[in-house]
Structure 1
């Protein structure tokens, strides 16, 4: 719906919406209040573990944020399922209850949306928002299909990729195989398999 930045900030701070997730871009606001099922929760956990384990094995600096708000005051606001700062150049934001100020700390390097009921919006409006926010890479997990669609973002435009650029060498085929395996394997078994794959690569 059409809204001002001030409308968005007030709405997201109101008691009925504190447990929701909100997005603001180009004078449009969206608030999501849908309940999340086990598919969303499980695949969110698996995809987070994949990124963290890959960064650990490859010696990459990483900081992850689950359901955290990122605001570029007056312009954009989002609360992705999970986001990561990657590489040597980032500073950790303070761990308080305020949204992360993108003007001060920069946009997250990688944003991941886990799409159950929101899959089309994740591919469309949210991807465009992340392009404008300055995110370097954007992934959408299709819960029902256990598929990952990854985009590299440069010059505020995105293009689909098969291998991550911000996690160099991480093939989306391996990420999707991890999501498939998560249907029948516990986290310990899955992480051991991933560790072997990442160490061998």
Structure 2
């Protein structure tokens, strides 16, 4: 539980709370929330304060490396953002674990620490949440949040099951897919194999395997 001022009521964490946008912005100014993950959607706020351990951090790293390596070998233009606030002022706010701008149709994000305004810069094409303790919310309320923000694809990585659940988003609706539309040719089973390998192999070994696999697929394609 955290408090924004000595006279304010405690704010419940790890659940969605009804709140106005102006009050939400005021709460974000609290130094005690510097490490919090903050989300807002249509009058509701969620603050996540649970510490993130090595399971979450490792799977985050594996997925990030895989996506960047795949895009590099396919010659795709890409910018990666980690724990960056994506904002539609007054309506939506999110801090996905990883986000990617992909393709030719985006400008480089500004080099400052302000939230990215999707009305100015567009939403990242791909957003990813690593679910170690928040799986139900990531599959539910946050999926709706990313639909409204305007991303093209949303992945939820279930670290306990070593499973990746991917959703294609179109016209503010999402449906599950087995292969990425943002990164054509990348199957979710490939990510799941990498996650499974991470239980017994180090990152360099997994990266060498991915490099061989993607290089072979590129040659065959």
> What is the TM-score when the length of structure 1 is the normalising length?
0.98
Aligned to 2:157: 141
Q: Which SS does the other structure have where 1:183 is aligned? A: coil
Distance in 2 between residues matched to 1:144 and 1:13, nearest whole Å = 34
1:92 to partner: Cα distance: 1.1
**Per-residue CA distance 1:71-112 (angstroms, 9 max, x = gap):** 110110000101000000111111211111111110010000
Give unmatched runs, 5+ long, in structure 1: none
Distance in 2 between residues matched to 1:18 and 1:29, nearest whole Å = 16
1:164 alignment partner, one of 152, 156, 180? 180
1:102 alignment partner, one of 118, 123, 130? 118
Give unmatched runs, 5+ long, in structure 2: 1-16
Tell which structure's C-alpha radius of gyration is larger: 2
Distance in 2 between residues matched to 1:11 and 1:109, nearest whole Å = 29
2:56 alignment partner, one of 40, 44, 49? 40
Aligned to 2:43: 27
Give the total of aligned pairs: 201
> What is the TM-score when the length of structure 2 is the normalising length?
0.89
Alignment of 1:88 with 2:127, yes or no, is no
Distance in 2 between residues matched to 1:95 and 1:147, nearest whole Å = 34
98-107 or 6-15, which moves further after superposition? 6-15
Distance in 2 between residues matched to 1:134 and 1:172, nearest whole Å = 22
Aligned to 2:134: 118
Distance in 2 between residues matched to 1:45 and 1:13, nearest whole Å = 29
> Greater relative contact order: 1 or 2 (C-alpha under 8 angstroms, separation 6 or more)?
1
Q: Which SS does the other structure have where 2:72 is aligned? A: helix
Distance in 2 between residues matched to 1:46 and 1:108, nearest whole Å = 20
Quote the RMSD (CA, aligned, Å): 0.7
2:199 alignment partner, one of 178, 183, 190? 183
